[in-house]
Structure 1
Amino acid sequence: MRTLRLILGDQLSQSISSLRDCDKANDVVMMCEVMKEASYVKHHKKKLVYIFSAMRHFALQLHKLGYKVCYTKLDDPKNTGSFYSEIQRVVEKLCIQKLIVTEPGEYRVLKDIQSWQKDFSIDVEIRIDDRFLATIGEFTNWAKGYKQLRMEYFYRYMRIKHDILLDNDGNPEGGQWNYDSQNRKTPSSDIKIPDSYKSVADDITKRVIELVEQTFVDNFGDIKPFNYAVTREQALEALDLFINERLSSFGDYQDAMLEG
């Protein structure tokens, strides 16, 4: 049975559930940039560059690791413009019998995916996204007990479940569940802020910048400067820099904005 494994733009992880038990010799990993997702609202140009560049870098990484990757760029002449039509095209072209995908973060996309098994006459397996501490099902069950949904209560529930910052009696360390009142300090006029992480755009990112500038002329925002991490290696560098140089003061000023 030949299986298609769909990776969405916010699922760029080698440990994503849809890639587990992947048969590199037969299965095909599919990724696609589609206009329907890029334009259902007017996204900031930076966001589009960030997503497309990260997707292309991840696809290249998978290819180097021996995966069979089917990648459709936004400006590919064969691009049909939506997940639905791209899946249909690839299923027919490659004689796919089964599709595996990790549940998407948007109900809009999930609803679309749930129709594919019937529409394409293939087996569709939607796997739980276990990158998070709670599943959608767990949150749904928790929410049934509340007339009003407040993040504070779910936050406490998760702290208790995972034993995070609790004392031996199960109470919050320090005696309080949160310290929001201490996170709203006003920065002084002479505060020194460490430099943020800045990546250097490679050829992949440069091509994406050009694509977005030409395709999304009416979208808001400026692309440059574009300094975001678009690979796992860059993201880890950015994380290390933040922990070493910014984390110690982050709590005090987390609600302040001094840099655009």
Structure 2
Amino acid sequence: MAATLKRLRLILGDQLNHQHSWFKEEQENTTYVFMEMRQETDYTVHHIQKIVGFFLAMRNFAEYLRERDHDVIYYHINDNGNQQDLAKNIERLIAEKDIEQFEYQLPDEYRLDEQLKEICESLSIDSEVYNTEHFLTKRNDLENFYKGKKQMTMEYFYRDMRKKYDIMMATRNDPEGGKWNFDKSNRKKWKGSPEIPHERGFRKDISALLEEIEEAEIKTMGNINGKSFNWPTSREDSLSVLNYFCKNLLVHFGDFQDALHTDKAYLFHSRLSFCMNTKMLSPKEVIDSVVGYYYDHTEEIDISQVEGFVRQILGWREYMRGIYWLKMPGYRRSNKLDNQNKLPDFYWDGNTKMNCLHHAVTQSLDNAYAHHIQRLMITGNYALLTQCHPDEVDAWYLGIYIDAIEWVEITNTRGMSQFADGGIVATKPYVSSGSYINKMSNYCKSCHYSVSKKTEEDACPFNSLYWNFLDDKKEYFKDNQRMNMMMSLLEKKSPEELSNIKERASKIIKNPSLF
């Protein structure tokens, strides 16, 4: 490429990779562009903290590039020249700056991938696309790995990734500790000890940015403190959170990664998902830091704490991205259980007498965060048991969480949580009665409802909803071997008991605001 060729390079809000090879090259006649756009703020209703987090992280990265003498154009949300649309902004810049080549990195969302292909086809200049240099797999690696196999079980993909990247391996084929998976050691209930250190927080005054967002009249959900924004929005912040996790939280992460508690939003979780999903941190450097810290502190930290963390990033995160690119665009329309109900209003205000849902939803509204078990076994469990349409569930999850980008959100929601894909991701629905919630949390102790009762007026709604769901959907599960035991128990219920269960469940589903 001639040195004089004028290039415009697009950087999306989730492509804030400081280590990308773009920034190590000769930069003559290269302009980088960032865009805060209504196109991106309005395709679903986002949590206010999510919009603030992305805008701040983008602005910080743009400033980082400027400080290193890169030519940067930045469209703020209210700039006069900002046409709020990716295609229009690109076309205008190309004309104004006499750009001769347009370049971008592969988007992680299908809609943006399609849009950028269309944009490039319409341009009168050449274009080139680059890898984001972030993930440990390519888009089609999962398809190739499972070719010819009946089920795409994540565990085997995870084992292959451990071998491929030589992560926690005793030999070429044998895992450290003698087991691939220590999941059975990762299911303890937190009862007040060990003490949970405060999260590595931040106190950023974002009042000026909030005024910009308010001026733009962007519709949002959730709550925010304008004087104390608590999320990492730079690489420096992100590394600080990573180091804090290693030194203070890793020692008990695995034990309590599935635990739930009314007074603890974060427990021993890392809060690194936003850092990684915006690419301020790479998955490999996160894994290397955590595993390296473990090797230096093996007398204090058990392997089960570390393996549980590595599995989430090396296994689950890469696997879900592979599923996304394998199954889109049809995946976003999947509704194999034919669920049609509306998501209850309390998902937007937390106003319910069910203590577990009140805490999980309120925490999500306050912090733009809930850990995976809150998402799967509280909010997701209830949505599935009340047979809500996956579109409704998708929109809520995509909007409310700061780390939610479609490639990771939709596969977890439609696949793992709602079983809307019919068993591609999960081999059985992740549903439970109140007993699981009681086992893993203290939610039930102070609840209006009794977890031990089944169909009485003060019975935990999850109990009747669970059996009603199995009965309503039994045709879908009759050939699912993993459901055999529960379906057998369902068959043993007397007609009178089943009638009472279904009557109670029907009241809850039809009138969720009363519960």
- Establish whether TM, by shorter chain, passes 0.5: yes
- 1:177-196 Cα offsets, whole Å, 9 max, x none, are 11111111100135421011
Deviations 1:126-148 (A, max 9, x none): 11222121111333322434333
Q: Per-residue deviation at 1:209?
A: 2.6
- Verify the 8 A CA contact 1:101 1:127 in the aligned structure 2: yes
Unaligned 5+ runs, structure 2:
266-362, 364-515
Q: Distance in 2 between matches of 1:98 and 1:3?
A: 5
* Alpha-carbon distance between aligned partners in 1 of 2:12 and 2:159, rounded to the nearest angstrom: 31
- State the alpha-carbon separation in 2 of the partners of residues 135 and 20 from structure 1: 22
Give the alignment of 1:190-209 within 5 angstroms.
190-202=193-205, 205-209=206-210
Partner residue, 2:222: 221
Corresponding residue for residue 291 of structure 2: none
Q: Displacement, 1:34?
A: 0.9
Letter matched to residue 3 of structure 1: R
State yes or no: 1:99 paired with 2:102.
yes
Q: Which has the larger radius of gyration?
A: 2
The answer to whether residue 177 in structure 2 is matched with residue 174 in structure 1 is yes
Other-structure match for 1:144:
147
Unaligned runs of 5+ in 1: none
Query: What is the CA–CA distance in structure 2 between the aligned matches of 1:124 and 1:18, rounded to whole Å?
Result: 15
TM superposition shift of 1:90:
0.8
- The residue correspondences of 1:249-260 to structure 2 (distance < 5 A) are 249-257=252-260, 258-259=264-265, 260=363
- Cα displacement (A) at 1:175: 2.3
CA 1:143–1:208 in structure 2 vs 1: closer, same or farther (change >3 Å)? farther
1:65-104 C-alpha deviation (Å, 9 max, x unpaired)? 1000011011112211121111111111111111121111
Q: 2:49 aligns with which of 39, 46, 51?
A: 46
Q: 2: CA distance between counterparts of 1:195 and 1:214?
A: 34
Contact 1:98 1:123 in 2 (8 A): yes
In 2, the alpha carbon distance for the partners of 1:62 and 1:194 equals 34
Instruction: Look up the match of 2:31.
Output: 28
Deviations 1:3-59 (A, max 9, x none): 011111111122224445351x31101110111111111111111100001101111
CA distance in 2: counterparts of 1:150 and 1:116, whole angstroms: 37
Q: TM-score, normalised by structure 2?
A: 0.48
Distance 1:97 1:20, change over 3 A: farther
Change (3 A) 1:111 1:143: farther
1:42 counterpart letter in structure 2: V
Distance 2:180 2:117 in 1: 39
Q: Helix, strand or coil: the match of 2:195?
A: coil
Q: Secondary structure at the residue paired with 2:91? A: helix
Q: Determine helix, strand or coil for the equivalent of 2:254.
A: helix
Aligned residue number for residue 129 of structure 2 = 126
Whether the aligned pair in 2 keeps the contact of 1:184 and 1:254 (CA below 8 Å) is yes
Task: Report the CA distance between 1:239 and its aligned residue.
Answer: 1.6
Instruction: Answer yes or no: is 1:13 the counterpart of 2:14.
Output: no
Which structure has more relative contact order (CA 8 Å, sep 6+)? It is: 1
Against the structure 1 CA distance between its residues 172 and 101, is the aligned structure 2 distance closer, same or farther, given a 3 Å change threshold?
same
Q: Cα 1:45–1:71, aligned 2, differ >3 Å: closer, same or farther?
A: same
What is the RMSD of the two structures over their aligned residues, measured on CA atoms?
1.9
Alignment length (residue pairs): 257
Matched, 1:184 2:187: yes
Q: Any idea what SS the aligned residue of 2:95 has? A: helix
**What does the per-residue CA deviation read over 1:147-191, in whole Å, with 9 as the maximum and x for residues that have no partner?**
332322221121121122222251222222111111111001354
d(CA) in 1 for partners of 2:96 and 2:224?
A: 36
Does the Cα contact within 8 Å between 2:6 and 2:29 map onto a contact in 1?
A: yes
Q: Which residue identity lines up with residue 237 of structure 1 in the other structure?
A: S
Aligned identity (percent) is 35
Which stretch of structure 1 is more off in the superposition, 142-151 or 186-195? 142-151
Where 2:197 maps in the other structure, the secondary structure is: coil
Greater alpha carbon shift after TM alignment, 45-54 vs 122-131 = 122-131
Question: What displacement does 1:256 show?
Answer: 2.2
Contact residue 7 and residue 29 of structure 1 kept, 8 A: yes
2:59 is aligned to 56
Separation (CA, whole Å) in 1 of partners of 2:234 and 2:63: 10
Distance 2:23 2:14 in 1: 14
> 8 Å contact 1:18–1:127 — kept in the other structure?
no
Secondary structure at the counterpart of residue 30 of structure 1: strand
What SS does structure 1 have at the residue aligned with 2:46? coil
SS in 2 for 1:29: strand
- Which range moved further: 99-108 or 12-21? 12-21
Q: Does 1:3 align with 2:12?
A: no
Q: In structure 2, give the amino acid aligned to 1:46.
A: Q
Which residue, 68, 71, 88 being the options, matches 1:68?
71
Separation of aligned partners in 2, 1:74 and 1:238: 28
Q: CA deviation at 1:214?
A: 4.6
